């Protein structure tokens, strides 16, 4: 935490060395394991603590030490949004009874949305939630735990093509590439003009704080749904008249698209993340299965319980520490299935027969994502300076 002056006495050097070791123990081994709320309170202790706890080194160390930050770690927190509200839901497998609505915390987003606009949940990664405007004018990165947010205007080239298009399909994705230490948002616009399809990619780099345009040419496939983040790649369902059903992946580090042929007759109804692996939900000849795709091309299948109704707007997220997984379900009103999904449920894969339980009911269509509270900022971190510390701790 400091440098030892060469002209100090040996006794003073020993004391300063012990002080540095003690500081390292506190900041690297103790504070990095505490909840975000505690860290935010500790910032007010002193200028030194504020500077250290605000640094990118500490933020990254705190995220790494989180027991739930690894993609394959058990899921215990979800970010949930409906048409107007945002929530964080915590779940503990040991909490077998009681009112789980008490675990649902409504968030204050501290931003407003125009009446003619609506936000869509693009994804969540390392504590950052990405929300995309359906007008495509902007997207928002939001850390509900700190709470910090930033609104990013869309790329002008992308918007011009979008506004001129009459027959189009749009999708997006968000994630982190560790090899380049960068968070990236990608918007994809597929335009059909007669028999010709043109796919345009537009990428925003948080590290570079700028957009880059990728014109993918006349690609013969459509992408469906939001990008699903697995192992720092985004995945979409896709269809091609020449190839048939396939998956399309986008590597966030090298910014490259790849097509993955699907050797099945029916396209996946939807994709999800299951234990850090890509999962695809399929209905095939009456069988309802979730195929968990693990490299290298190993597929494990989980049956869906009888009576569990899923549809293309459903989502799957799992697993908890006892191999349960979360699903969103349509609402059954007096025997009539009302789409899209308004219910959060959980499936117990260890039960025989396999069972599912309804946890929460909402009045509006919901979207969910796995969420890990963190200190990550929704903008490029500027390392703490003396001026920033002085602003935080004004002179008496």
For 70-106, write each residue's pLDDT tens digit.
888 999 999 999 988 999 999 988 775 667 888 999 9
User: Residue 41: pLDDT above 80?
Assistant: yes
For 179-206, write each residue's pLDDT tens digit.
999 999 999 888 777 777 778 889 999 9
User: What gap in Å lies between CA 150 and CA 131, rounded to an integer?
Assistant: 11
Cα–Cα–Cα angle for 306, 309, 312, nearest 5°?
140
What token pair was written down for 284? 């095939």
- How far from 262 is each of 34, 87, 234, 275, 368, CA to CA, in Å? 44, 36, 16, 21, 26
User: Residue 12: pLDDT above 50?
Assistant: no
Amino acid 176: pLDDT: 97
- Enumerate the β-bridge partners of residue 175: 184
User: What gap in Å lies between CA 265 and CA 395, rounded to an integer?
Assistant: 70
Break the chain into its structural domains and give their ranges. Answer: 10-65, 68-108+266-376, 154-263
User: What gap in Å lies between CA 20 and CA 69, rounded to an integer?
Assistant: 28
Amino acid 264: pLDDT: 56
Any residues with CB less than 8 A from the CB of 80 and at least 6 apart, and which? 86, 87, 88, 89, 104, 344, 360, 362, 366, 367, 368
Pairing mode, strands 256-261 and 168-177: unpaired
Amino acid 194: pLDDT: 75
- How far from 141 is each of 158, 163, 187, 288, CA to CA, in Å? 19, 24, 14, 35
pTM above 0.85, yes or no: yes
- Enumerate the β-bridge partners of residue 290: 281, 302
For 293-321, write each residue's pLDDT tens digit.
877 667 888 888 888 888 888 899 989 99
User: What gap in Å lies between CA 303 and CA 246, rounded to an integer?
Assistant: 22
Q: Are 375 and 27 in contact (CB under 8 A)?
A: no
For 349-377, write each residue's pLDDT tens digit.
999 888 899 999 999 999 999 999 999 99
What token pair was written down for 388? 């920033």
Task: State the pLDDT confidence band at 148, using cuts at 50, 70 and 90.
Answer: very high
Written as one string, the DSSP assignment of 209-230 is TEEEEEE--S-S-EEEEEEEEE
pLDDT > 90 in the chain, percent: 43
pLDDT, mean of residues 12-28: 59
- List Cβ<8 Å contacts ≥24 apart for 300-306: 302/274, 302/349, 303/354, 304/347, 305/347, 305/353, 305/354, 305/355, 305/356, 306/353
Mean pLDDT of the residues in the chain: 84
Q: Which of 85-89, 149-153, 216-220 has the lowest mean pLDDT?
A: 216-220
pLDDT > 70 in the chain, percent: 84
User: Residue 49: pLDDT above 80?
Assistant: yes
Q: Is the model more confident about 26 or about 324?
A: 324
């Amino acid at each position: 935490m400091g440098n030892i002056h060469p002209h100090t006495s040996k006794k003073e050097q020993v004391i300063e060395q012990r002080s540095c070791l003690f500081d390292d123990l506190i900041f690297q081994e103790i504070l990095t394991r505490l909840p975000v709320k505690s860290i935010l309170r500790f910032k007010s202790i002193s200028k030194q603590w504020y500077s250290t706890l605000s640094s990118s080194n500490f933020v990254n160390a705190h995220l790494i030490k989180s027991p739930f930050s690894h993609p394959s770690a058990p899921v215990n927190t979800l970010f949930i949004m409906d048409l107007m509200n945002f929530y964080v839901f915590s779940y503990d497998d040991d909490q077998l009874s009681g009112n789980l609505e008490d675990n649902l915390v409504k968030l204050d987003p501290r931003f407003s949305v125009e009446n003619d606009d609506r936000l869509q949940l693009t994804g969540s990664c390392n504590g950052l939630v990405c929300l995309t405007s359906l007008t495509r004018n902007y997207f928002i990165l939001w850390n509900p735990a700190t709470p910090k947010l930033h609104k990013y205007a869309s790329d002008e080239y992308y918007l011009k093509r979008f506004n001129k298009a009459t027959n189009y399909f749009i999708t997006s994705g968000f994630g982190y590439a560790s090899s380049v230490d960068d968070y990236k948002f990608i918007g994809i616009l597929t335009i059909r003009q007669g028999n010709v399809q043109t796919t345009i990619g537009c990428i925003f780099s948080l590290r570079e704080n700028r957009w880059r345009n990728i014109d993918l040419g006349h690609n013969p496939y459509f992408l469906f749904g939001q990008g699903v983040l697995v192992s720092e790649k985004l995945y979409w369902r896709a269809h091609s008249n020449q190839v048939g059903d396939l998956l399309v992946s986008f590597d966030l580090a090298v910014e490259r698209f790849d097509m993955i042929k699907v050797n099945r007759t029916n396209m996946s109804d939807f994709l999800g993340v299951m234990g850090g692996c890509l999962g695809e939900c399929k209905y095939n000849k009456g069988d309802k299965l979730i195929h968990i795709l693990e490299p290298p091309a190993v597929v494990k299948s989980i049956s869906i319980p009888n009576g569990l109704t899923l549809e293309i707007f459903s989502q799957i997220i799992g697993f908890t520490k006892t191999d349960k997984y979360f699903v969103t379900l349509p609402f059954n009103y007096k025997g009539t299935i009302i789409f899209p999904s308004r219910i959060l449920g959980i499936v117990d894969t260890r039960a025989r027969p396999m069972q599912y339980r309804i946890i929460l009911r909402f009045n509006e269509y919901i979207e969910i994502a796995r969420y890990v509270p963190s200190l990550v900022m929704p903008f490029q971190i500027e390392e703490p300076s003396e001026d920033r510390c002085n602003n935080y701790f004004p002179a008496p």
